[in-house]
């Protein structure tokens, strides 16, 4: 007997489409099944995975509503979809998605709107004359509602998306990912929805670039607060949008950020591979600034692996590539990388080398002193990283007083910034400070600083 083979399962991204998520949230299985068929999943496969008969699937496709909890669970579990998508469980991802994509409620009657308007006016009068009490329960919360979407995406829509991303990038750089991560994630969801709408001629590629850029930033801010799994998903989306846009410089930047995630977590072999892949994409892009950025990070990774020769080779190439880079740089995702960053990465690379060979401690200190001296409050997170590394270099060069000075500054920045990374990067300083053998007043100060950093790390 011939048996029709099952069609392939739908790709994961099918379940994340706006039309699919809305159908799931409304438990509209007819629309869900039609969307699955549109993406290549046969009626027979739907029946097999949901435990329904072919005739039942057919009836659902014809409009029969399914409300039975057991059947809805079988649909979710059969396709590996989180039950929260169907409202059968409530998790933070589902809550966040619903808040951003809720279908607007029906328009209230004119009479009801007039009544509410009068009530608001009355409360405004009470506030003005000083007789107002507590706000009533009816007015004390804002109902969720979706922002109306444009019917077609044009250059102005993309420009607005880019401008919001630019402002959020500035906030992340100055205050840390914790200050803006939720806003970045919400903006990324908005841009995703724009990508599903019709676009005017010449707009689609630029929109894909904007989507890649904001997911790149969303991954970076998630990484900054220690949400590594979330960071990885955003970076994967950024890579996909960059691929669609055919923009190797952006691909290289996403790979650089992925490498930094793994380097921070001590997974240096994987970090090196990400950086090397990024270097290939950077070379294809023709952006010397991007090549320099990848080479400097490869140097740091080799230093962490104990390979001094490769570290020095890649530092030299980073310096050479940056010196020949064009001053004008139109791509916002790499504009942050300046001569200061070359100095800072030279400093942290030589500091990593100094763990095995103390001859590198003094050059590390010099490079970090140069970068710290020129940082501004607009670069607060980078400044904090470099102050902590400089304090460590000062300890290695036996300058305890300078180590206390820069270490205190780094700890103060860590308290101000919303960045787990800044705190994590103080761990090497804490270890050296607590075990400092100096018996003088400076020794007591640095050991006390080390213990206070350990308390912050523990909390």
pLDDT for the residue 337: 87
If DSSP codes are grouped into helix, strand and coil, which group holds residue 199? strand
Q: Which residues of the chain fall short of a pLDDT of 50?
A: 1-5, 103-107
Predicted pLDDT at 75: 86
Q: What angle do CA 78, 29, 59 make, to 5 degrees?
A: 100
What pLDDT score does 105 carry? 46
Q: Which residues of 35-53 are buried (b: 16+ CB within 10 A; e: fewer)?
A: bbbeeebbbebbbebbebe
Q: What is the pLDDT of residue 2?
A: 45
**pLDDT score, position 45:** 87
Closest residue by Cα to residue 165 from 186, 147, 149, 144: 186
The pLDDT of residue 147 is 81
d(CA 33, CA 43): 8
In this prediction the pTM is 0.75
Angle made by CA atoms 374, 378, 379, in degrees to the nearest 5:
60
Judge contact between 79 and 9, C-beta under 8 A. Answer: yes
Contact present, 328 and 306 (Cβ < 8 Å): no
- Residue 380 CB contacts under 8 Å (≥ 6 apart), including other chains: 173, 174, 175, 176, 413, 416, 417
List Cβ<8 Å contacts ≥24 apart for 113-122: none
Give the per-residue pLDDT at 1.
41
**Whose CA is closest to 191, among 204, 178, 201?**
204
Buried b (16+ CB within 10 A) or exposed e, 230-264: bbbebbebbbbbbebbebbbbbbbbbbbbbbbbbb
* Domains of the chain by start residue, with CATH: 12-101 (1.10.260), 338-459 (1.25.40)
């Amino acid at each position: 007997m011939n048996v029709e083979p099952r069609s392939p399962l739908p790709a994961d991204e099918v379940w994340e489409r706006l039309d699919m998520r809305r159908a799931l949230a409304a438990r509209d299985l007819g629309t869900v099944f039609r969307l699955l068929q549109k993406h290549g999943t046969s009626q027979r496969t739907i029946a097999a995975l949901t435990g329904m008969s072919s005739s039942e699937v057919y009836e659902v496709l014809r409009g029969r509503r399914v409300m039975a909890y057991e059947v809805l669970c079988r649909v979710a579990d059969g396709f590996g979809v989180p039950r929260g998508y169907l409202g059968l469980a409530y998790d933070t991802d589902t809550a966040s998605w619903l808040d951003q994509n809720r279908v607007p409620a029906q328009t209230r009657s004119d009479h009801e709107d007039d009544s509410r308007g009068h009530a608001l006016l009355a409360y405004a009068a009470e506030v003005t004359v000083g007789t107002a009490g507590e706000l009533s329960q009816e007015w004390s919360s804002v109902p969720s509602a979706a922002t109306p979407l444009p019917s077609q995406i044009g250059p102005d829509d993309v420009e607005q998306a880019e401008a919001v991303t630019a402002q959020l990038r500035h906030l992340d750089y100055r205050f840390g990912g914790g200050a803006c991560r939720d806003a970045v994630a919400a903006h990324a969801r908005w841009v995703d929805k724009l990508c599903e709408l019709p676009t005017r001629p010449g707009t689609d590629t630029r929109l894909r670039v904007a989507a890649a850029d904001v997911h790149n930033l969303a991954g970076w801010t998630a990484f900054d607060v220690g949400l590594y799994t979330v960071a990885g998903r955003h970076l994967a989306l950024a890579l996909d949008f960059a691929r669609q846009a055919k923009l190797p410089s952006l691909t290289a930047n996403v790979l650089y950020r992925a490498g930094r995630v793994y380097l921070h977590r001590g997974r240096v072999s994987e970090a090196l591979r990400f950086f090397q892949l990024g270097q290939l994409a950077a070379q294809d892009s023709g952006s010397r600034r991007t090549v320099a950025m990848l080479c400097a990070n490869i140097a740091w990774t080799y230093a962490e692996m104990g390979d001094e020769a490769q570290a020095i080779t890649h530092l030299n190439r980073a310096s050479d590539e940056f010196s020949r880079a064009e001053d004008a740089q139109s791509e916002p995702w790499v504009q942050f990388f300046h001569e200061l960053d070359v100095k800072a990465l030279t400093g942290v690379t030589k500091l990593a080398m100094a763990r095995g060979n103390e001859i590198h401690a003094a050059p590390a200190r010099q490079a970090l002193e140069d970068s710290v001296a020129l940082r501004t409050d607009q670069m607060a997170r980078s400044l904090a990283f470099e102050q902590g590394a400089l304090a460590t270099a000062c300890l290695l060069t036996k300058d305890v007083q300078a180590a206390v000075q820069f270490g205190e500054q780094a700890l103060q920045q860590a308290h101000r910034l919303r960045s787990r990374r800044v705190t994590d990067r103080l761990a090497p300083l804490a270890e050296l400070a607590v075990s400092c053998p100096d018996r003088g007043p400076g020794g007591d100060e640095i050991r006390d600083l080390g213990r206070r950093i350990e308390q912050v790390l523990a909390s």
